[in-house]
Amino acid sequence: MRTAVDRIFDLLGALTGEPHGLSLQEAAQASRLSKPTAHRLLTDMIGRGIVRQDKASGNYALTLELALIAFKQLGELGFLDVCQPTLDELAALSGELVRLAWRDQDRLVILSEAQGAKPGLRFDANLGRPVVLHTMAAGKVFLASQPRAEALRLLRKQGLMGSPDTGPNAIQTEDELALELSRVERQGYALAYDEGDLGAAAIAVPILDPKNRAFLGSVAVVGPTVRWTKAKLSELAPALNEAAAAIAAKAAIAPFCRRIADAQTRPSRTGS
């Protein structure tokens, strides 16, 4: 059963990516709410300045209020700006898109990017996009850093195994995933080739806390398969590891990053 918070966020999710807004009927259908419930929540959010209603069309759309809150939070983290030069250098070296993903409890979220590819055939920004753990190189290094039981829990919680919205080489079973994670552990990096999307190639390495080796995030290079073989991608591993170490050292100054690392190593109150 959905809570009030679930209904609010489902409604916000329906409005996200709709710059021209949605009608009440459309918003209710997209968020699986009744029209009276959707109307009440939308009215409340208008009062808080989160949503606006266009006078001409009657459509509901998000204001910038949530974005301002989110960017204020990101700004307080204190590490994106200091990490950006490292991403820019890696983007220039690889000539492709570089992504920094960071751990947010049970998920991995793309927080920053640097574009090294020239206009034309290239991959563009996906800031804020959660990483699909079993099809993206960044997700694989996250899973490989965890005990196998925990990796399976994270995978099952995300619930995207077998999704049709993947590339032709996407992992389809947990047994296949176990073999892949063993390979990632041996190599120290993960590859994804026609897995997340057809025509997409990627390599990622983990970003580990320098003191306790806790998984903080990952850095990845993403490009089209027409420019990259798996062997050629693998040659980027040393540069990626150098970038990951630099980011880990810089992230150590950010209180947010220290809290993530501490939470992963702090014993529970029950002693389990």
In terms of pLDDT, which residue wins out, 114 or 253? 114
For the segment 204-221, the average pLDDT, to the nearest whole number, is 94
* pLDDT (average), residues 67-81: 73
Give the Cα separation of 97 and 188 in Å (integer). 21
Domain 74-265 fold is Beta-Lactamase (3.30.450)
pTM of structure:
0.72
Report, as an integer, the average pLDDT of 83-105: 94
Domain locations along the chain: 4-63, 74-265
Q: Which amino acid is at 40?
A: R
Q: Can you tell me the mean pLDDT for 182-195?
A: 97
Sign of dihedral through CA atoms 33, 38, 40, 46?
Answer: positive
Lowest mean pLDDT among 75-89, 91-105, 126-140: 75-89
26 within 8 A of 32, measured Cβ to Cβ: no
Q: What is the pLDDT of residue 252?
A: 64
**Displacement of CA 150 from its chain's centroid (Å):** 19
Q: Residue 81 has what pLDDT?
A: 78
Output the CA–CA distances (angstroms, integers) from residue 75 to 67, 78, 82, 89, 254, in the order listed: 12, 6, 11, 22, 11
Looking at per-residue confidence, does 126 or 18 come out higher?
Answer: 18
pLDDT tens, residue by residue, 228-246:
999 999 999 999 999 999 9
Residue spans of beta strands (DSSP E) within the chain: 51-53, 60-62, 97-104, 107-115, 190-193, 200-208, 215-224
Q: State the first-to-last Cα distance of the chain, in angstroms, to the nearest integer.
A: 30
- Res 254: pLDDT: 59
CA gap 41, 36 in Å, rounded:
9
Answer yes or no: is pLDDT of 260 > 60.
no
pLDDT (0 to 100) of residue 69: 86
CA 74, 244, 242, 203 dihedral sign is: negative
Above 80 in pLDDT, residue 129?
A: no
* pLDDT for 94 beyond 80: yes
Nearest to 7 by CA among 24, 30, 23, 243: 30
| C-alpha dihedral, 47 to 49 to 51 to 52, nearest 10° | 90
**4-63: CATH number:** 1.10.10.10
Q: Are strands 51-53 and 190-193 parallel, antiparallel or unpaired?
A: unpaired
Please state the rounded mean pLDDT for residues 54-74. 88
Q: Determine the average pLDDT of the residues in 108-132.
A: 82
